[in-house]
């Protein structure tokens, strides 16, 4: 293993707080599972700026607000990753960059149990709290 990769990712919710945006990555990092979007943090940018850049590059996403959620450590492709995860509120319009994203879709919260996904535990907990509020 060479080094630790620092990434940032967003649990992207619509402004009505009833849908989540999930992607299937072109690089097959999570195989055919739906996951939250994000990417690598460049040396000269903040973690939050990196997330904004990645969401714009991958999905042309219009962000309304970003809140820190949690950090996560995991191993994939023989590398260790530290992911700084955020809750992101965004408009539902997306335009997929097919070089990086194989597919992207807004899911209603009640659909999540029916799909294979790689949503971090803290993201699932956040969605469950929103479901209880509604």
Using one digit for the tens of pLDDT, what is the confidence trace for 90-132?
999 999 999 889 999 999 998 998 999 989 999 999 999 988 8
What percentage of the chain has pLDDT greater than the value 90? 75
DSSP states of 55-80: HHHHH---EEEEEEEEEEEEEETTEE
Give the model confidence (pLDDT) of 18-43 as tens digits: 999 999 987 766 678 899 999 999 99
CATH topology of domain 4-133: Nucleoside Triphosphate Pyrophosphohydrolase (3.90.79)
């Amino acid at each position: 293993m060479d080094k630790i990769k620092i990434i940032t990712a967003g649990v992207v919710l619509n402004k009505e707080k009833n849908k989540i945006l999930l992607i299937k990555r072109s690089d097959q990092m999570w195989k055919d599972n739906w996951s939250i979007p994000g990417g690598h943090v460049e040396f000269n940018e903040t973690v939050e700026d990196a997330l904004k850049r990645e969401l714009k590059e991958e999905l042309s996403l219009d962000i309304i607000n970003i809140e820190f959620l949690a950090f996560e450590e995991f191993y994939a492709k023989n590398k260790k990753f530290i992911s700084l995860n955020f809750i992101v509120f965004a408009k539902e319009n997306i335009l997929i960059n097919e070089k990086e994203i194989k597919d992207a879709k807004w899911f209603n919260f009640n659909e999540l149990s029916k799909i294979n996904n790689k949503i971090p535990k803290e993201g699932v907990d956040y969605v469950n709290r929103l479901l209880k509020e509604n």
